[in-house]
Amino acid sequence: MVERDTAEETAEFVQALLATLRAQAAARVLISTRKSRPVFKVEQWKLSETLEQLMGMSGVRIAFIADTREIALSQEYIALLGRQRGLQFETFDSEPAAVAWLLADARS
Query: How confident is the model over 67-87, as pLDDT tens digits?
Result: 999 999 989 999 999 999 999
Cite the DSSP H helix spans in the chain: 7-24, 47-55, 69-84, 95-103
C-alpha–C-alpha distance, residues 1 and 30, integer Å: 10
Q: Does the residue 68 lie in any domain?
A: yes
Q: Would 40 be classed as within a structural domain?
A: yes
Residue 80, in any domain of the structure? yes
CA–CA dist 58, 19 (Å, integer): 15
pTM comes to 0.86
For the chain, what is the domain count? 1
The whole domain housing 76 covers 7-103
> Which tens digits make up the pLDDT trace of 43-59?
777 788 889 999 988 88
Are the beta carbons of 28 and 61 closer than 8 angstroms? yes
What pLDDT was estimated at residue 106? 63
Note whether residue 2 is domain-resident: no
Q: Look at residue 43 and tell me if it is in a domain.
A: yes
- 14 falls within a domain: yes
